[in-house]
C-alpha cells in the first residue's frame, strides 16, 4: 500500500504483528494450559509480587485491564483454584488476590512453553543488540512499563 508515511507504516506493522502474535500465543496457551493470555499475564504479576499477592486494583493497573475485567478474570482463576481471595485488615474495601500452591505450579509450568513461544514468534527475529534497541524504543511508548518495577 503506497501513500503512507513512515509513521503510518510502522504503526500498521505494530498493529498487525500484535494481532498475529497474540492470536498464535493465545491459541497455544489455551491448548496446552487452558489459560488466556490475560490469565497468564495476571498470574505472572502475582508470581513476582511480594507475598505473591496483590490488590485487585493494582493488578488491573499493571496489566491494563479495567477493574471489572479483573473481577471477572479472577472469578475464573479462583474457581480453578489457582488464586484465592484474602481480606485486608486495615482496609475492608480491598481484597487481595493470592496465588495458591496450584497457581504457583501452574505458572511455573506454563511459563516454560510460553516463553519459548514468545522467543519463537517474537524474540528470535532479533539479535541481542536489536532486542535491547527494540526494548528501549518500545519503552518510550505510553504505559509501556506498567508491569515492570512494581516491586524494586
Partner DNA sequence: GAGCTATACTTGATTACGCAAGCAACTATA
Partner DNA sequence: TATAGTTGCTTGCGTAATCAAGTATAGCTC
Residues that bind DNA (CB under 7 A): 23, 27, 36-38, 55-58, 64-74, 76, 85, 90-96
- Residue 96, Ramachandran bin (φ over 0: left; ψ between -120 and 50: alpha; else beta): beta
CB 70 within 8 A of CB 60: yes
Distance (Å, rounded) from C-alpha 145 to C-alpha 51? 21
Which of DNA, a copy of itself, none sits in contact with 10, Cβ below 5 to 8 A by type?
a copy of itself
Beta bridge partners of 84: 98
Per CB under 8 A, the segment of 76-84, 86-94, 98-106, 113-121 that binds a copy of itself is 113-121
Which of a copy of itself, DNA, none sits in contact with 46, Cβ below 5 to 8 A by type?
none
Distance (Å, rounded) from C-alpha 40 to C-alpha 13? 25
Q: Is 57 in the site for a copy of itself (CB under 8 A)?
A: no
Residues that bind a copy of itself (CB under 8 A): 1-24, 41, 45, 48, 64, 115, 118-119, 121-123, 125-126, 128, 130-135, 137-152
Amino acid at each position: 500500500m503506497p501513500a503512507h508515511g513512515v509513521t503510518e507504516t510502522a504503526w500498521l506493522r505494530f498493529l498487525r504483528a500484535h494481532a498475529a502474535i497474540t492470536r498464535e500465543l493465545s491459541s497455544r496457551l489455551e491448548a496446552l494450559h487452558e489459560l488466556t493470555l490475560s490469565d497468564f499475564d495476571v498470574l505472572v504479576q502475582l508470581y513476582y509480587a511480594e507475598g505473591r499477592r496483590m490488590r485487585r486494583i493494582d493488578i488491573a493497573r499493571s496489566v491494563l485491564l479495567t477493574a471489572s475485567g479483573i473481577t471477572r478474570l479472577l472469578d475464573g482463576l479462583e474457581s480453578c483454584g489457582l488464586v484465592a481471595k484474602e481480606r485486608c485488615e486495615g482496609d475492608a474495601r480491598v481484597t487481595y488476590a493470592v496465588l495458591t500452591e496450584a497457581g504457583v505450579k501452574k505458572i511455573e509450568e506454563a511459563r516454560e512453553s510460553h516463553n519459548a513461544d514468545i522467543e519463537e514468534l517474537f524474540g528470535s527475529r532479533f539479535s541481542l543488540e536489536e532486542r535491547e534497541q527494540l526494548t528501549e524504543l518500545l519503552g518510550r511508548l505510553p504505559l509501556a512499563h506498567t508491569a515492570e518495577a512494581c516491586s524494586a
